[in-house]
C-alpha cells in the first residue's frame, strides 16, 4: 500500500488513488479518474492530439488500455455525438485509460459533460499523473505489456494481488475479441456525416447496396458509405455467406475490429472466401484488411508496439502519393506471405509494414489504416468512392 510522505516544509504529498501495475511487477502511482475499481488489458499508446472520445469508443480497442502521449486530454469535454461504437453493449472500446495531466473542466461549445463524468458513466477506469512519455518509451523498447489499473479513492490497494493478476493476463495472441463488440442482429444504416449547420444527415437515394460484416464497426465508416450513396445493411460477424447473399448485395464491406485476426479468421475467413468465389466486390478496413489477406492465404503477425495515432504517413504505391492517416492496430499482414494475386498497394513510411492490398483476380481491395478518420485527417476519404466505382464496374460486367 502506498505510504504517505513525511511532511516537508509544511506540506505532504497526496496519497496515490490509482495504480498501474505492469505484468513484470512494475507499479506506477497516480490519481484515479473515471470509474472506481479495476480494469485489465494490453497497454498501448496513442499519439493523437485530438479526438480522444472517438478513440475511447473505438471497438477496435477492446481488451486494451490506452495511454495518451499528448498530455492535455479532456479539456474539450465530451458530447453525445462523437461516439464511434454502434452497439450499446460496446459503448466504450477501451478497458482503461492512462493520462499525464489531471482532467480540467471542459471548454468547448459542444461539451455536455466532463471526461471524468463520461468515464464514470461508461465504467471506464483511468489513472492520471503518470509520465506517459516514459511509459511510451518503455513500450517502444519492450513491447506492449499487459497491466491492471486499480482506482480506489481511499488509496487502499493489495499490490501483491494486483501483480499476480497482471502477470496472469493472457497474451493478445490467440484472442478472438470480436464477440465482445459485434452486433447481435442485422440492421440498416442511413445516417450520413456531421455538419455544423445541421448535425448528422440521412441518405436519400441509394446507388448500391453494401452488406457490412460487423467485426466492431465504427459509426463514421457507415456514415461515409451512406455518404457515397450506399444502402448499408450491417450483419453480425457470424453471418454465413448464404445469409449475406440472400440480401442481394452489390458489394461486401469487412469492418475494423479488435483482437488476433487469426483467431477471428477461424470462422470469418471461410465466409469471406465464399463471397470472393462468388465475385462479390469487397472492401476491407483494419481487421477487415487482415481478414481479406488471410482469406487469400496470407498470414498475420503481432507487432512490437502497434500503430495507434492520427499522424501516420502511408505511401500509395499505385500513385506515389503520401497520405497522412489514422491507425489503430496491433497486428499486421506479412507481405511475404501473400500470393502473387495480392498486390501490395500501400506501405507505412514509419516502418515499412503493409498498409493495403488489391487482388488481381478478384474485385477486392483493403487498407490497414482508417480512411474514415474520426479522429484524424481526411486524406483517404476517396477510398469509399473507389469502392462504389468498383461495384459499378462489376455491375456493368454482369449479364442483363
Check if the beta carbon of residue 313 is closer than 8 Å to that of residue 349.
yes
Spatial distance between the Cα atoms of 189 and 183, rounded to a whole number of angstroms: 13
Q: E strand or H helix at 316, and its extent?
A: strand 300-316
Phi, psi of 306 (to 5 degrees): 75, 180
Q: Which residues of 3-35 are buried (b: 16+ CB within 10 A; e: fewer)?
A: eeeeeeeeeeeebbbbbbbbbeeebbbbbbbbb
For residue 349, give the C-alpha cell: 513510411
Spatial distance between the Cα atoms of 177 and 215, rounded to a whole number of angstroms: 9
For residue 190, give the C-alpha cell: 442511413
Apex CA 253: angle with CA 249 and CA 254, to 5°? 135
DSSP state of 370: B
Pairing mode, strands 251-254 and 282-285: parallel
Q: E strand or H helix at 97, and its extent?
A: strand 96-98
Spatial distance between the Cα atoms of 38 and 125, rounded to a whole number of angstroms: 7
Spatial distance between the Cα atoms of 38 and 35, rounded to a whole number of angstroms: 9
Q: Nearest 10 degrees: CA dihedral of 59, 261, 367, 194?
A: -10
Q: E strand or H helix at 20, and its extent?
A: strand 18-22
Any idea which residues carry the catalytic annotation?
A: 286, 370, 372
Amino acid at each position: 500500500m502506498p505510504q504517505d510522505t513525511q511532511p516537508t516544509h509544511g506540506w505532504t504529498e497526496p496519497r496515490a488513488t490509482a495504480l498501474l501495475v505492469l505484468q513484470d511487477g512494475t507499479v506506477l502511482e497516480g490519481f484515479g479518474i473515471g470509474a472506481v475499481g479495476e480494469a485489465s488489458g494490453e497497454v498501448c499508446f496513442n499519439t493523437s492530439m485530438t479526438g480522444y472520445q472517438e478513440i475511447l469508443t473505438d471497438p477496435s480497442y477492446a481488451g486494451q488500455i490506452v495511454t495518451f502521449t499528448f498530455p492535455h486530454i479532456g479539456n474539450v469535454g465530451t458530447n453525445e455525438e462523437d461516439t464511434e461504437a454502434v452497439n450499446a453493449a460496446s459503448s466504450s472500446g477501451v478497458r482503461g485509460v492512462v493520462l499525464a495531466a489531471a482532467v480540467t473542466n471542459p471548454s468547448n461549445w459542444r461539451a455536455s459533460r466532463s471526461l471524468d463524468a463520461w468515464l464514470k458513466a461508461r465504467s471506464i477506469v483511468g489513472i492520471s499523473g503518470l509520465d506517459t512519455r516514459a511509459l511510451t518509451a518503455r513500450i517502444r523498447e519492450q513491447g506492449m505489456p499487459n497491466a491492471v489499473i486499480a482506482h480506489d479513492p481511499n488509496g487502499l490497494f493489495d499490490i501483491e494481488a494486483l501483480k499476480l493478476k497482471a502477470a496472469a493476463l493472457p497474451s493478445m495472441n490467440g484472442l478472438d475479441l470480436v464477440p465482445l463488440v459485434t452486433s447481435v442482429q442485422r440492421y440498416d444504416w442511413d445516417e450520413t456525416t456531421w455538419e455544423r449547420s445541421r448535425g448528422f444527415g440521412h441518405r436519400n437515394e441509394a446507388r448500391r447496396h453494401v452488406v457490412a460484416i460487423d467485426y466492431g464497426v465504427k459509426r463514421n465508416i457507415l456514415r461515409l458509405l451512406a455518404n457515397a450513396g450506399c444502402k448499408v445493411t450491417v450483419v453480425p460477424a457470424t453471418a454465413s455467406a448464404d445469409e449475406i447473399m440472400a440480401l442481394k448485395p452489390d458489394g461486401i464491406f469487412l469492418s475494423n475490429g479488435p483482437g488476433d485476426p487469426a483467431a477471428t479468421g477461424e470462422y470469418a475467413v471461410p465466409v469471406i472466401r465464399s463471397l470472393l468465389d462468388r465475385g462479390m466486390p469487397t472492401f476491407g478496413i483494419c481487421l477487415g484488411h487482415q481478414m481479406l489477406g488471410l482469406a487469400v492465404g496470407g498470414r498475420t503477425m503481432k507487432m512490437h508496439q502497434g500503430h495507434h495515432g492520427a499522424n501516420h504517413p502511408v505511401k500509395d504505391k499505385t500513385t506515389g502519393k503520401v497520405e497522412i492517416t489514422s491507425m489503430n492496430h496491433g497486428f499486421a499482414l506479412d507481405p511475404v506471405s501473400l500470393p502473387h494475386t495480392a498486390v501490395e498497394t500501400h506501405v507505412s513510411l514509419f516502418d515499412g509494414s503493409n498498409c493495403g492490398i488489391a487482388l488481381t483476380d478478384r474485385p477486392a481491395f483493403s487498407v490497414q489504416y482508417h480512411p474514415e478518420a474520426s479522429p484524424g485527417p481526411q486524406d483517404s476519404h476517396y477510398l469509399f468512392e473507389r469502392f462504389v466505382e468498383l461495384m459499378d464496374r462489376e455491375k456493368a460486367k454482369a449479364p442483363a
